[in-house]
Amino acid sequence: MESAEQTPYAMIGGAETIRLLVEAFYARVQRDPDLAPIFPADLRPVMERQRLFLTQLLGGPPIYSELHGPPMLRARHLPHAVTPRRRDAWLRCMAEALQEIRLDELTRGWLLRRLAGIAQQMVNAPDAG
């Protein structure tokens, strides 16, 4: 079992790094023509859930599950048309956000590979036309 000091969460800088990442990511989501239409105007609740989810995913406190139950990501995303194009846009925004917050290249690559697998599982509709 990993000690708290050895988790990816601790290694990247914990809560502050996750906060910076979520802010950088959603600034991009708001401007993205493929993603913006499926997000609410007030992103604060979405950002908070993402912050808690990423914290838990990376080995930080399991507050997401304590507040919202198991992540069940696919079920939570079914009401939204998540297409391959939107998956790619989401990953592009995340990659740019990770670079903006200056996460080291090795960690960025590891995290993007992990998130790419999760993003692929969220695809629930084909691209239009």
Per-residue pLDDT of 113-124, as tens digits, reads 999 999 999 999
What is this structure's pTM? 0.93
Categorize the per-residue pLDDT at 69 as very low, low, confident or very high, splitting at 50, 70 and 90.
very high
- Domain-embedded: residue 127: no
**Backbone CA torsion sign across 25, 28, 32, 36:** positive
pLDDT at res. 4: 55
Residue ranges making up the domain that contains 116: 4-122
- Domain-embedded: residue 51: yes
- Domain-embedded: residue 118: yes
Q: What CATH number does the domain containing 96 carry?
A: 1.10.490.10
* Angstrom distance (rounded) from CA 96 to CA 93: 5
- Domain-embedded: residue 55: yes
Domain count across the chain: 1
72-119, pLDDT tens digit by residue? 999 999 999 999 999 999 999 999 999 999 999 999 999 999 999 999
- Domain-embedded: residue 24: yes
Residue 25 one-letter amino acid? F
- Domain-embedded: residue 129: no
